[in-house]
Structure 1
Amino acid sequence: MGTGFIALDIVEGKLNTFGAAGGSCGNVMAMLAWLGWTASPIGRLGADAAGEFVVSEYAKLGVDCRHIVRDENVATPIVIQRFGETAEGERTHRFSLSCPDCGGWLPRFRPMTISQAAPVLESSLAPKVFYLDRVTPASLRLARWAKDLGALVLFEPSSVGDEKPFQRAIDLCHVLKYSHDRLGHIPDLAAAQSPDLIVETLGEQGLRMRWRGSWSVLPAFKTDVFEDAAGSGDWCSAGLLHLVGARGADAFQASKRDNLERALKFGQALATLNCRFEGARGLMSFMDHQSVNKAFRELLETRVFAEVEHLERSSRSLPEDLCSLCKPQKKTRARNKKKAG
């Protein structure tokens, strides 16, 4: 189970613009479902077209959506992904929060309330893994609930925000994972004592991990085809959880360093393979498990992904009227402005 950022990604690719269920939490849950888990995101989406698009895609992927609240008072978050080139000619991406049709602000993350999370907190569920990427009163309550039931808790922040709740999340988690680009400037994260495992991703340089007080570095894999690095961190998280989370926190805490390194390498390999396709979860649209396994065998021998078998281009679509997706947000702002006046 997991809670945090769930959104509609709109990717402006080379050949077409397409939509995909996204957000860090949303991606990790979808990836775990693809890897064979029963994955249940807990979150708050709007009762709108974007929310319907996200939930429909999750249903096709086998994601359990019963704990996603469809709230008429909010709009589903939407993120636009655009591509460009660096000065060295390398392909890169950036995210936009404004509508390309009308220029208005797109809906942003709205946390679920504790009352909306109550059905989960009061249930008889007992997750083996719990993932969170946003610090809110509900996410902290859910993380505590899951940890008390023996779940392995992974916290993957993208920013700090209020320090006290942020520290509570660090104290709750077994695994703290963050990007050097986003949070590497905060030395206290690498020195945190509560997490059993700390993972700092380093982009093209790979990652480094701290286990039982000792740091080690895992270099990145390489690929001869590169389209998009979006979702790399999410794939790494999903790969780690897939190999070390199935038996919960106790088994994880008894892990040996070699097992953790193998799990992180598996996540790195998934991330590298996904870089060959557009979108945070492009791998899932163009490869089946058999072709992925074949690619992994090649990787073990050469450490480089070269020729990779993939399916015919999978159909990836987008709601016809993109601008209609941000209208609920505009209406809400208009009502608020009218009340203020």
Structure 2
Amino acid sequence: MENMMLQRRDSIDVVGTGFTVLDRLYADGDFTAEALGGSCGNVLVSLAMLRRQVAPVLSLGYDEIGAQLIDEFRLAGANTRYIYQHEGRRSPVLRQELDTLSGQHSFSFICHETLEEYPRYEPIGPAEVQSSLHAFEDCTLFYADRLSPAILDAMERAHLGGAIIYFEPSIFDGPLFDEALALTSILKYSSDRLGAELDERVAASAAIAIVTHGEDGLEVRHGHERVWSAAIPAAIVMDACGSGDMVSVGLIDWLLARPASVRHSLSIHDLMSGVVAGQRLAAENCGFAGARGLFKHRDAAYVRSLLGGARYDF
């Protein structure tokens, strides 16, 4: 009976919800490509390409862009049954401008050609949560990069089901954040963007924090214990976009490879090999344009070789 329960629990590796958009990339002012993007979208589709069992839970428009995003997930091997399309809603689009000489990029919700505003991301609602209960309750890891009352509800259900909660906020969301932090196993955030709001809260919590410091590297914290991991130098820097997402991909993939009996008892020192795996992906990804340029120009076997070679030495 115990083996049957473990098999059922591992039927979905990662369930995720949050910022998922169609990225339209302009390099040096010229349109070059469009693809699924957003932190949540990048992390989930990358894990699916690494042959993890991934189920995005999203709310999109019933339109061509929504269909395109679903197709990208499906082609990567993700389970798309929990992606909901709604009549009368437009799926979200984000413009990314890249300067290939400097590797700098910027984002906008304004169309490059027409100057019209793109439709914005909308989180899942209570109906989508109710329709996706199986996914939340039976996943190994729950990923979110945005908060809403419904996403917090989903997070609570995944937590009660025994999932690792991996939360990667981009903004501080007051009372909702404090409730989410109490459920979170691993919290990843930017020191520049959120350090002032989050550092003391996170130090007082039970969560393990990954605090990024841009091109310098990152810290892994638990309470007041800290371990520094310098960034791995990139041979070529064409586009740094997606570097943070690659760190999450490498760490989550590493976590999924650990035995179920030890996933919830890992110390910050135990996690360092997973962190370095993610940093290796981030460094390689900088050599290509686009948030997932590494996956586009190299096959999954090559990416897997990077992850397999990651080791951390104190």
| TM value normalised by structure 2 | 0.87
- Specify the alignment match of 1:113 in structure 2: 125
- Specify the alignment match of 1:320 in structure 2: none
* SS state at 1:17 partner: strand
Q: Whose radius of gyration is greater, 1 or 2?
A: 1
Structure 1, residues 78-132: CA drift from partner, whole Å, max 9, x if none?
A: 00000237xxx63200001101121111111111211122111266951000001
Instruction: State the alpha-carbon separation in 1 of the partners of residues 304 and 168 from structure 2.
Output: 27
60, 63, 84: which one pairs with 2:75?
Answer: 60
138, 152, 169: which one pairs with 2:164?
Answer: 152
Structure 1, residues 119-162: CA drift from partner, whole Å, max 9, x if none?
A: 1126695100000111111111111111111100011000013x
| TM value normalised by structure 1 | 0.80
- Specify the alignment match of 1:81 in structure 2: 96
| 1:54–1:108 Cα change, 3 Å | same
Identity, in percent, stands at: 34
Structure 2: unaligned runs, 5 residues or longer: 1-14
TM alignment of 1:1-341, pairs within 5 A:
1-13=15-27, 17-84=32-99, 90-121=102-133, 126-161=138-173, 163-189=174-200, 191-211=202-222, 213-246=224-257, 251-292=262-303
Instruction: State the alpha-carbon separation in 2 of the partners of residues 140 and 295 from structure 1.
Output: 34
Structure 1: unaligned runs, 5 residues or longer: 301-341
Letter of the 2:270 counterpart: N
| Structure 1 moving runs of 4+ over 6 Å | 296-300
Letter of the 1:208 counterpart: E
User: 2:274, 2:310 within 8 Å by CA — same for their partners in 1?
Assistant: no
Instruction: State the alpha-carbon separation in 1 of the partners of residues 164 and 172 from structure 2.
Output: 22
User: 1:196, 1:253 within 8 Å by CA — same for their partners in 2?
Assistant: no
- Specify the alignment match of 1:304 in structure 2: none
Instruction: State the alpha-carbon separation in 2 of the partners of residues 146 and 247 from structure 1.
Output: 19
Q: What's the CA shift for 1:262?
A: 0.5
User: 1:236, 1:264 within 8 Å by CA — same for their partners in 2?
Assistant: yes
Root mean square deviation, CA, Å: 2.4
Q: What's the CA shift for 1:189?
A: 5.0
* SS state at 1:181 partner: helix
| 1:148–1:294 Cα change, 3 Å | closer
- Specify the alignment match of 1:330 in structure 2: none
Q: What's the CA shift for 1:275?
A: 0.8
Q: What's the CA shift for 1:245?
A: 3.6
Instruction: State the alpha-carbon separation in 1 of the partners of residues 259 and 305 from structure 2.
Output: 29
User: 2:23, 2:36 within 8 Å by CA — same for their partners in 1?
Assistant: yes
Q: What's the CA shift for 1:249?
A: 7.7
Letter of the 2:249 counterpart: A
User: 2:55, 2:79 within 8 Å by CA — same for their partners in 1?
Assistant: yes
| 1:123–1:32 Cα change, 3 Å | closer
Q: What's the CA shift for 1:257?
A: 3.6
